Structures are given as structure tokens and as C-alpha cells.
Structure 1
Amino acid sequence: MSALQLTRPLAVIDLETTGTNVATDRIIEIAVIKVMPDRSVQRKVKRINPQMPIPAASTAIHGIRDEDVADAPTWKQAANEFRQFLEQCDIAGYNSNRFDIPMLVEEFLRVGLTFDVKDRRFVDVQKIFHLMEKRTLSAAYKFYCDKDLTNAHSAEADAVATFEILEAQLERYATQLKADVDALAQFTKEDEYVDFARRIVRQNGTEIFNFGKYKGRAVRDVLKSEPQYYDWMMKAEFPLNTKEKLTEIYHDMMLKKP
């Protein structure tokens, strides 16, 4: 069996949210299953009051209603606890590179906390599944673990199932996948992006807009020719992480201005 080799803790995360828009939706449940290098496990699971109504369409997926989180702490109250719990951890999840991690970073920024992603490795179990078999968490659980996922869309059940799937993937693909986080992070790595929402990507070292009328154009070229575009983006409903990265590019460009 190819047991996952860990040199530092691996935090397997799952979020339940009010919706899928990173800029406007909020966390309503978070589960972190922290697997230590010695294989001991620490868990932190919490319901969160999103301070906004939970849409019926979202409740239909995860079963969490407004009244279920009415007395729960707000993210501002819980954020630092999770930030500390995730310190020095690599992070894994199911579709986490595209949703859970961007949402988590955004929520930290909303309450004035930075969540340093430098030197962390991200392992997206869904990406392994799609790359190796080309499908939902429940299907992956059945395929790899031959188990039916009960309590699907309970954050804790999903996070536990995700780690079981990861271990089963390593056993199934023992000759193709190396059982360490660095190799898995490289295997599931996406195209190079600047912000988590992928509004800005990096091509040959140059930041490029990845949306809208300037898609494919260098960010610095656009900001030089149309500086008002920066103001528009900062006022529009883009994720805070996108605005933060855009501002870094803008300030760097202004500093280098002759």
C-alpha cells in the first residue's frame, strides 16, 4: 500500500457555503481534518453564521438552514482559530484549488487577516480523479473505496471521504503517483495564475487578463493605456484577492514609472 508520506501536516478541508460566488457568498460550515506526519489526526469542525440569508437552492444541497446557524459564531469570531490551526499545513480538498481555497482566502481578507499561501502545497483530489479516471465526490468514493457516501455535503463527512479517496488513489496508482505531497501538488497543479479567481494569469512571466474585453492582454499595458480600468475593477464586484493582486501590479508599475 502506498501510504501518503508527510513531512508536515496535511489539512484536508471542506466548506459548505451560501453559494459558489467567491466575491459575494459566505462560509456556513468548515471542516479541517489535519493529518500529522505520524498519522495522528486532529479535527476542527464549526458551523458559521454567514450574516446573510442562505438561499433555498444551497440548503437543498447541504441541508443547512438559517435557523441552524443563527446562534453560530461569525467568521470574524472564528477566523483566527482556523488560521492558527492551518499554520504550516499543506492543504488538500476536493475541487479545493478552484473553490475551497479561494473562498477561504477571501473570507480571511474580509476580516482583515492574511492567509499566507507561499510555500504551501495544494493537493486537489478531484483533479487526480479527473486526470486518472476522467467525475462527484460520491462517485469517487464509490469508485475508489467501494463505499456509499452517507451524509454527503456534511463538511466533516466530505473531508473524511476525501482523505480516504486520496489514500485509495495512491494505492491504485502506486506505479504512476508518488506518495508525497510535493509530487501530488505538482501533479494537480493548474495553469499558473495570479489570483485565485483566475481573473489574472501569468504567461512567460507576464500578468495577463483572463476575462472580459481585455482577455489575453498584458495587465500592465492595459493599466498604462487605460488607468481608469483599475478604478473600475476596484469598485466592481471582484473578489478581494483579485483586487489585492491587481493593486500589487499597479503599485509595482507606478514605482517603476520613469
Structure 2
Amino acid sequence: MEHQLKLTKPLAFFDLETTGIQVQKDRIVEISIAKANIDGSVDIKTRRVNPGIPIPLEASLVHGIYDEDVKDEPNFKQIAKSMAQFLEGCDLAGFNSNRFDVPMLVEEFLRSDVDFDTKNRRLVDAQRIFHMMEPRNLTAAYKFYCQKDLIGAHGAEADVLATLEVLNAQVKHYENTSMKDAEGNEYFPIQNDVAVLHQLSASNSIDFANRMVYNKDQVAVFNFGKYIGRPIADVLKTDPSYYDWMMKGDFPMDTKRKLTEIKLKGFQR
């Protein structure tokens, strides 16, 4: 493989597969680096890693790597020095890398007592460029789905009528488009059915501020602070003062209302 990028030093494109998305507690299970060299050549290195903790099933269903696949692989500390050497003198690039991959990689190097500084490295994130050049807003959606320029954008009536047109066009465009789920079964995600569209639009958030969410078992848990990931009903039993702190705190009324509902009955989805 070759590239046409004009470089003054190697640019290392990299991607991580991990046990999750929390930099402070999750670990790398696979790292792949494509080092674009100044002469146009590309060196590729891919390595699976034993994270030292169980890989959650929901993560394995995304990247296809299970505990059994990495049980005989080295841990990150064992490969950290060789990885740092491979990346020596390189700038770094990726897709959403500045928000996730770079912080995760730096954290793993720090845990391994390897000095990996990004101060003198240029960081290039292709996702940021994509989002800047291909905006994901109503004007862009109207142009893409309806092939028309949105006149009077950000006026309430123009925006609401454009949104109606966009959703109508999306349903027409995707209604017969199939996808495959994690088990390889074919399904049609977009249907001319508001109940189906509601499910697609729904998130795991309980409150609009995303302070409370449903976990993979559909249990209500805190999504911030010292009790992040802990079942809300359990926390309110063991530390009832936390409820009072939140009710007196600078949280939205919607969050306080939802918290009170959980306090009164505790619930799963």
C-alpha cells in the first residue's frame, strides 16, 4: 500500500479495540497501526493484547474479540516499549482519535511506565475533518434527502417544515434497505411506523441531561460522579444523603423528577 500525503515525518494511523470506552478503567484488546512514511510507503503492525480483565459481551459483539481470543496474548506492558519505538518520531492520526484513541493509548503507556508524550506530535483526526466538511445539521440533511436548499434556515417555521420533509424522505429512501444484526440476521431498521422510528431514536438515557442511564441489563444507574455505573436504587439505600445533595444541587428539574421516581419505586426498564 502507498499514500500521497506530503509528510515531513511519519504519520501513524492507529485504531484501538477495547473493553469499553472509559479511559480510566477500560483496556486495549487490539491495536493496529499503519505508519505512513515520508517516501510514500506504509508499514502495518497489528497486535492483540490481553487486557487483564474480562471483555464485556457487549464489547465483544462489536469488535468480535472474546476472552478466549486473547488469553495467550501479552499484556500491554509487555509490548509497550516496542510499540513506543514503532511510534517514535511519528505524528498520530485516526478517526475520532483525539477524543478516544489517543487518550486511551496514552493512558495505557502511563500505566506501563513508558514515557509517551504527545506534546511534540501533531494529532490529525479524520472524523473532525469529515464533520467540518460534511455538516450533520438540518440544512445538510435537507440538501441530501430533499435535493433542495433550505431557505430561511433557523426560522422556526422553515426548520419545522424542512424536518417534516426530511423524515418523509428518509422513510422513502431507507424503507427497503436491510441491515444485519450482531448475529448476522437481516432486518429492516427503517419502517413507515412511528413506533419503530421512536425505538431507533431512543437512547439509554433516563433524564435529558444524561445524568442517569440504563445499563446493559436495563437497570437504572448513575452516569456521573463517585457512583458512576452504580444502580441508583442501591445508592439511595446505602447513601440516602446523596438524594438530598442532588435535589439541592444545580441539576435540571427533569433530572430531579426522574431521580424522585426511582427513589419512590426503584425501577428497571
Instruction: Tell me, yes or no, if the aligned pair for 2:5 and 2:40 is still in contact at 8 Å.
Output: no
1:100 — aligned with what?
Answer: 101
1:42 — aligned with what?
Answer: 43
CA distance in 1, matches of 2:33, 2:5: 18
CA distance in 1, matches of 2:135, 2:10: 28
Shift of 1:134: 2.5
* Within-5 A mapping of 1:1-258: 3-134=4-135
1:155 — aligned with what?
Answer: none
CA distance in 1, matches of 2:37, 2:103: 24
Shift of 1:118: 1.7
CA distance in 1, matches of 2:114, 2:5: 31
Secondary structure, counterpart of 1:31 in structure 2: strand
RMSD between superposed Cα atoms in Å: 1.7
CA distance in 1, matches of 2:37, 2:89: 11
2:255 — aligned with what?
Answer: none
Secondary structure, counterpart of 1:71 in structure 2: coil
CA distance in 2, matches of 1:61, 1:95: 17
Structure number with higher relative contact order (C-alpha < 8 Å, ≥ 6 residues apart): 1
The one-letter code sitting in structure 1 at the alignment partner of 2:49 is I
Deviations 1:75-106 (A, max 9, x none): 01111110000000000000000000000000
Secondary structure, counterpart of 1:53 in structure 2: coil
**Unmatched tracts of structure 2, length 5 or more:** 137-223, 226-269
Deviations 1:6-43 (A, max 9, x none): 11100000000000000000000000100101111111
CA distance in 1, matches of 2:114, 2:7: 27
Shift of 1:119: 1.5
Secondary structure, counterpart of 1:109 in structure 2: helix
Q: Give the structure with higher Rg (CA).
A: 2
Instruction: Tell me, yes or no, if the aligned pair for 2:96 and 2:126 is still in contact at 8 Å.
Output: yes
Shift of 1:114: 1.5
Secondary structure, counterpart of 1:42 in structure 2: strand
The one-letter code sitting in structure 1 at the alignment partner of 2:98 is N
CA distance in 1, matches of 2:119, 2:107: 16
**TM-score, normalization: structure 2?**
0.49
Q: How many pairs does the alignment contain?
A: 136
Secondary structure, counterpart of 2:25 in structure 1: coil
Runs (4+) of structure 1 exceeding 6 A deviation are none
CA distance in 2, matches of 1:101, 1:67: 27
Secondary structure, counterpart of 2:9 in structure 1: coil
CA distance in 2, matches of 1:93, 1:14: 7
CA distance in 1, matches of 2:111, 2:8: 31
Secondary structure, counterpart of 2:43 in structure 1: strand
Shift of 1:3: 3.5
CA distance in 2, matches of 1:120, 1:76: 22
